[in-house]
Amino acid sequence: MDFEKVVDFRHACKIFDENKKISKSDLNYILKTTIKSPSSFGIEGWKFLVIQNQDLKEKLKPYCWNQPQITTCSDLIVLLYRKNMTSKDEYVIKSLKRRKYFEKSLQKYAEFIDSRSLSEIKCWSKAQTYIASAYLMLSSASLGIDSCPIEGFEHENIKNLLDFDKQNYDISYMVALGYRLNHPKTLERRDFDELVEFI
């Protein structure tokens, strides 16, 4: 699909067709292209939980403002971010080891990160998952698959229901994937000149 068509196809889908499931090969394509997203220093401080289990989706829904996307979607992707990505983090070190000049990269990374507080690092790490989520949604759209980004949820309650490495990761947000039930509204955006400034 032409890229602009992909962009125009994507919208925040409010309800999915429960009878349509994403095929395994399409889902793999979406996730494989998603993990090609850029990340700072190439660390890839994220994880993607794929929820297909209907019972679990039903349990999550009340803590997601009862949004119908949660239970009607085919796959609910929960994006996790890595929390303590200091220069001592073994996960960070493993990523940096792929670089030609590991010692130099580690030193540069330490200068970049180690003066920041853990809450600043968390914020920085979480922000990067939004880039991956754009890949996720646009990759889906390129296959004619709909999505809805979902930040409307009770973080701690959702966290309690999900099984993941909570020591090292936390929930960023979610993206529901599936096939639209209804025709979307026309995409509304502010004027180009209001948002884009050439300086």
Ligand X SMILES: Cc1cc2nc3c(=O)[nH]c(=O)nc-3n(C[C@H](O)[C@H](O)[C@H](O)COP(=O)(O)O)c2cc1C
Which residues would be at the binding site for ligand X (CB under 6 A)? 11-12, 14, 67, 148-152, 173, 187
* Pairwise CA distance, residues 42 & 99, whole Å: 9
Sign of the dihedral defined by the CA atoms of residues 2, 33, 166, 56, in that order = positive
Asked if 176 contacts 148 with a C-beta cutoff of 8 angstroms, the reply is yes
Question: Among residues 96 and 138, whose Cβ is nearest to ligand X?
Answer: 138
To ligand X, the closest distance from the beta carbon of 11 in angstroms equals: 4
**Sequential DSSP letters for 82-104:** ES---TT-HHHHHHHTTSTTHHH
Residue nearest to ligand X (CB): 152
The least distance separating ligand X from the CB of residue 126, rounded to whole angstroms, comes to: 11
Distance (Å, whole) CA 193 – CA 179: 33
As measured in angstroms, the least distance from the Cβ of 174 to ligand X is 8
Looking at the Cβ atoms of 57 and 113, the one nearer to ligand X is 57
Write down the least CB distance from residue 138 to ligand X, Å: 12
Of the two residues 65 and 112, which places its CB atom closer to ligand X in the complex? 65
Name the residue nearer to ligand X (CB basis): 45 or 149: 149
Rounded least distance, CB 87 to ligand X, Å: 29
- Residue 88 tokens read as 């001592």
CB closer to ligand X, 95 vs 129: 129
Q: How far is CA 132 from the centre of its chain?
A: 5
Cβ count within 10 A of residue 118:
11
